[in-house]
Amino acid sequence: MPVTIKEPAKLAAGTLRVIPIGGLGEIGRNMTSYEIDGKILIVDCGVLFPEEHQPGVDLILPDFSPIRDRLDDVLGVVLTHGHEDHIGAVPYLLKLRQDIPLIGSTLTLALIEAKLKEHRIQPYTLTVAEGQSEQLGPFDLEFIAVNHSIPDALAVAIKTKAGVVLHTGDFKMDQLPLDDRITDLRAFARLGEAGVDLFLPDSTNADVPGFTPNERDIGPVLEAVIAKAKKRVIVASFSSHVHRVQQVLDAAVANKRKVVLMGRSMVRNMGIAQELGYLVVPDGVLLDVKKAADYPDNQLVYMSTGSQGEPMAVLSRLANMEHPTITVGEGDTVILASSLIPGNENAVYRVINGLTKLGANVVHKANAKVHVSGHAAAGELLYCYNILKPKNVLPVHGEYRHLVANANLAIQTGVPAERTIIAEDGTVIDLRDGIAKVVGQLDLGFVYVDGSSVGEITDADLKDRRILAEEGFISIFVAVDAQTGKVIVGPEIQARGFAEDETVFNDVLPHVVKALEDAAANGTRDTHAFQQVIRRTVGRWVNTQHRRKPMIIPVVIEA
């Protein structure tokens, strides 16, 4: 259903305005704005990774336009945890105003500070922990422990005169977590007793029945897979998945193997986690990549990035035989210890096929229990709804089907359908007197990071790139008499990415000359108008004769 753009009315005093800036209808770009009495609080500021139909794009940012002209009113950014889809866009926000305070747990802030150092930004930070409360202007914040696939994740209760909001961030309800830090359902119950006016729950696994399995179940499987491996083992995971790296370290020790961390972000993040005590590294298990060649293959485990098929990550380079030091071969074992993020399926299966073709035994979630999700499934969400009894629900963090599934769970537990809001990025929701209403829809788009440019690449540019990649390129050069419009030189045609021999264009040259002569006879002298004539003529011919729609670039000069 197309989005109808509707500017919201001016925000009334004492009303809380909620705008999901990113994270709805997608897995990534998570960012939500809360405003009351002229002051703004941001929760999360993440990136989305590009898909195949976005060639050349490095990252996709939230559209900051709802707050771009209000940066002085932003009191702070609460970061629920340290995953890229929640913190990755912070450097780009702070480039607009560097002194916006960042609020988060110890590990979360350590990860973002390391990232900001690369951007030469020194942030203002406030470290918080579960059970802690902080007052930021009209916002009374309470931080609550939640369990996720990275340590130190927090939900945040936002208390204002307009009501109480609970924003979960990413969470699940693992009852036997590796770090013994469970989701604090007692705090949820206490908030529910006092009254939650608006609940923003993680929707990623809302369409998955039952409960997410325990992280502890993965350790023995990894240990068994490594025990059977004949040569090297390469484990690919997210560079911030501390729990998975811990399990790999433990499994390697059990099998008398050394572990080599690969990928800049993996090395950086695990160094931070070890320094802060979130990662326990057994003595002598870690090995520098430069010394790996001194050990036999059956004594090595490589822990790498690239579990989502990212073209420049370690695993893709191994599959393409482009890695400078490692060549995957017969007898090697590759473990993909992560979930498939929607949209990455083709890239991941391409990597799996490439590694299999090289002779590796590829173990992944579809053929072994080497990963469990970090997100609550339907059963866990139902528990939350029954504990909290929220008056209004705004599902977040998920594609549209996930948001709908989450909303249906809320309705099943007694939340009125009219109080359950399925929103999109840019939907404006006002909370007042215990009622949340949609009051507008902003026109928010994707902001592309392309090399050093931010926001300069448009959807039209990406369309041109796709046409170049899929349909090819045709250029036509013509020189015309400035007085008569008669063709003096050309037409000369060159094509790239077009399967036919260039002599095939000999058939269209007379049509181009005649079209230009007809245009000149009708009084056309403008070179742009001549270019349009050429583009239409060649485009119509190539589409009719060859069923192609290449990019056509006519060049007309006056002589």
Digit-coded pLDDT (tens) for 247-260: 999 999 999 999 99
What is the CATH number that goes with domain 459-558?
Answer: 3.10.20.580
* Tens digit of each residue's pLDDT (9 = 90 or more) over 178-207: 889 999 999 999 999 999 999 999 999 999
Residue 142 has pLDDT above 70, yes or no: yes
The domain limits of the chain are 16-210+374-447, 215-363, 459-558
Backbone angles phi, psi at 74, to 5 degrees: -80, 120
Q: How confident is the model at residue 437 (pLDDT cuts 50, 70, 90)?
A: very high
pLDDT mean over 276-281: 92
Task: Please tell me the predicted confidence (pLDDT) of residue 499.
Answer: 56
What class, spelled out in words, does domain 16-210+374-447 have in CATH? alpha beta
**Do the beta carbons of residue 477 and residue 555 sit within 8 Å?**
yes
Between CA 173 and CA 256 the distance in angstroms is 33
**Do the beta carbons of residue 469 and residue 200 sit within 8 Å?**
no
Task: Please tell me the predicted confidence (pLDDT) of residue 544.
Answer: 78
Bridge partner residues of 336 (DSSP): 236
pTM of the model: 0.81
Task: Please tell me the predicted confidence (pLDDT) of residue 412.
Answer: 97
CA distances from 284 to 252, 258, 260, 266 (A): 11, 8, 11, 18
Task: Please tell me the predicted confidence (pLDDT) of residue 454.
Answer: 67
Task: Please tell me the predicted confidence (pLDDT) of residue 235.
Answer: 87
* Tens digit of each residue's pLDDT (9 = 90 or more) over 14-72: 999 999 999 999 888 999 999 999 999 999 999 987 666 565 666 788 999 999 999 99
Architecture of domain 215-363: 3-Layer(aba) Sandwich (3.40)
DSSP of 511-545: HHHHHHHHHHHTT---HHHHHHHHHHHHHHHHHHH
Q: Lowest mean pLDDT: which of 35-44, 210-219, 297-306, 336-345? A: 336-345
Bridge partner residues of 398 (DSSP): 24, 26
Choose among 557, 515, 518: nearest CA to 536: 515
Residue 407 has pLDDT above 80, yes or no: yes
Between CA 216 and CA 209 the distance in angstroms is 20
- Strand runs (DSSP E) across 23-91, as ranges? 31-36, 39-43, 59-61, 74-78
* Tens digit of each residue's pLDDT (9 = 90 or more) over 70-114: 999 999 999 999 998 999 999 999 999 999 999 999 999 999 999
Counts of helices then strands in the chain (DSSP H, E): 15, 24
Task: Please tell me the predicted confidence (pLDDT) of residue 76.
Answer: 96
